[in-house]
Amino acid sequence: MLVVMKQGATAAQIDAVCQWIRDKGYTAQPMPGAQRTAVGLVGNDGRVDGSPLEDFPGVAEVIYVSNPYKQVSREWKQETTIVEIAPGVRFGGSEVPIIAGPCSVENEQQIVTAARQVKAAGAVALRGGAFKPRSSPYSFQGMGLEGLKLLKLAKQETGLPIVTEAMDEAGAELVAEYADMIQIGARNMQNYSLLKTAGKLKKPVLLKRGMAATIQDLLLSAEYLLAEGNPNVVLCERGLRSFDTASRNLFDLTAIPVVQQLSHLPIVADPSHGTGRRDKVLPMSRAAIAAGADGILIEVHPQPEKAMSDGAQSQTPAQFAETVVQLKRVAEAIGRRIAG
């Protein structure tokens, strides 16, 4: 439920609404806007009768949020949320940031070289996995803490903010010490303990859609983060598991405008995982920008043929540079621009 106050409502009138909500056993969340303040009722899993509030001084209207997800919905907040992970690196505005880097951190030379190369081409943030959830227990699992330290070194060398994945609660707290944005991967989208921990940490979160998750599933997972007090959430479309073997996943571009209609949270696209094929990353990156994506994630490796994970979908530095050039043209055609 959302209580919209009249323009010019006093602090005392807003406090009275908040107190009524608290007296009912729920949490009141005031949300000042450009013209007026709204007060959200948080903590209910069903409809609350807010009719008494309609007669409170300063109340304009009471809106019942119909979706099972509340705080992430457009009903709750009309304006798109802007998530800033570093000075000048924002998701949800007219500029479209590009996050790029290798799937995994492998050694110092690899990650620092990759960071320099993607920055030179136009990326404004560096991705790289220190912890890697893999389908096979025998595959490379990442360097862990040492990988985080190398990411920090790459940031010191280039100034690029870091986006990297956490696999569990303890890992989330560790990642929060080193990274500017915690990634929650597709396999952990419904790891609710991890979501709660990441929400409490208040660090910006990149939440990837699960391989078989509906859009409602994705938004409900995001609700866990906001329910813990973390509004800095960016959603990510990264492809769904399909029966077709022509590509690694089915890249669901329709999810971008659908999510933007349903939620105020920004959504970015990951065409690398979305296709699993290096030659398909460029065309699907262009398509994602045209569809309105608020950012792009691209895997780039100095030597993809030697990558310890996901080499087949990683662009070379030269391919990435050409991708950025083309994405700038597409963004300009729809009235946006590539950040940086």
Locate the domains of the chain by residue range: 2-63, 83-338
Bridge partners for 90 per DSSP = 84
* Of 60-69, 120-129, 165-174, 199-208, minimum mean pLDDT range: 60-69
The CATH T-level fold of domain 83-338 is TIM Barrel (3.20.20)
How does residue 138 score in pLDDT terms, banded at 50, 70 and 90?
low
What pLDDT shows up at residue 31? 87
Whole-structure pTM value: 0.90
Q: What is the mean pLDDT of residues 247-263?
A: 96
**Is the pLDDT confidence value at 163 over 70?**
yes
Beta pairing, strands 95-96 & 337-338: parallel
The CATH T-level fold of domain 2-63 is Alpha-Beta Plaits (3.30.70)
Model confidence pLDDT, tens digit, residues 21-47: 999 999 999 988 777 899 999 887 777
Residue located via tokens 């890992």:
171
Rounded-to-integer distance, Cα 40 and Cα 303, Å: 50
What pLDDT shows up at residue 167? 94
Model confidence pLDDT, tens digit, residues 288-307: 999 999 999 999 999 999 99
What pLDDT shows up at residue 279? 96
**Is the pLDDT confidence value at 98 over 90?**
yes
What pLDDT shows up at residue 44? 78
Q: 310 in the Ramachandran plot: left (φ > 0), alpha (ψ -120 to 50) or beta?
A: left
